[in-house]
């Protein structure tokens, strides 16, 4: 059953970029419209990699996903669900109030947010996915995701 691995105590270890991508791709199969994923972790932890995996799992070309450096919110369509991708790295908490992230993705898609600690307030029902750098090629991925 896809998704069961999220329940493993201590999370999952991805030993390569490809493995992180694959984990996210598998998770995407369990997502529904309105789901919000908060991706926390240091620079280079693999948050954008994870979003590329989500895209592929939803049927979107992962090569379309980039770090939204200048655009705060990217929107990818053409898959099973729309994918909204926000990167709040450059923002402070007051700036995120104006983004309207609460309304984004609720109807037709999934919202993935990098640097969610920049959010001015909690997003209802959001699931936290934490990526930690263990070494060059290794990431520990934990979540409070509850499996339907
Ligand atoms: P972030 O968005 O968190 O800053 P990126 O996904 O943009 O991170 O970049 C992650 C970097 O770490 C890439 O250069 C990737 O090749 C490298 N990397 C090495 N091992 C892994 C792994 N297990 N999972 C994800 N990325 C990895
Ligand atoms: Mg990134």
DSSP H/E element including 138: strand 138-143
CA-to-CA separations, 22 to 3, 40, 57, 59, in angstroms, rounded: 12, 18, 9, 13
> What is the atom index within ligand 1 of the atom nearest the CA of 19?
23
pLDDT 10s digit of each residue in the chain, 148 long?
Answer: 344 445 445 688 999 999 999 999 999 999 999 999 999 999 999 999 999 999 999 999 999 998 766 678 899 999 999 999 999 988 877 777 777 777 765 678 999 999 999 888 888 888 999 999 999 999 999 987 654 4
Q: Could you tell me the distance, in angstroms and rounded to a whole number, from the CA of residue 131 to the centre of ligand 2? A: 11
Residue 105 confidence (pLDDT)? 59
- Residues 6+ positions from 54 with CB-CB distance below 8 Å: 24, 25, 27, 28, 31, 37, 83, 110, 112
Q: Could you tell me the distance, in angstroms and rounded to a whole number, from the CA of residue 80 to the centre of ligand 2? A: 23
Instruction: Check pocket membership of 96 for ligand 1, CB cut-off 6 A.
Output: no
């Amino acid at each position: 059953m896809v998704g069961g691995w999220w329940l493993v105590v201590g999370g999952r270890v991805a030993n390569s970029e490809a493995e992180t991508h694959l984990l996210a791709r598998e998770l995407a199969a369990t997502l529904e419209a309105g789901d919000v994923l908060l991706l926390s972790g240091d620079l280079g932890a693999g948050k954008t990699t994870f979003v590329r995996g989500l895209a592929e799992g939803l049927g979107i070309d992962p090569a379309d996903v980039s770090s939204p450096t200048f655009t705060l919110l990217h929107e990818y369509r053409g898959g099973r669900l729309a994918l909204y991708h926000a990167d709040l790295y450059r923002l402070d908490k007051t700036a995120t109030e104006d983004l309207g992230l609460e309304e984004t993705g609720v109807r037709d898609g999934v919202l993935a947010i990098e640097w969610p600690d920049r959010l001015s307030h909690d997003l209802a029902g959001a699931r936290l996915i934490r990526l930690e750098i263990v070494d060059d090629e290794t990431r520990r991925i934990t979540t409070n995701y509850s499996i339907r």
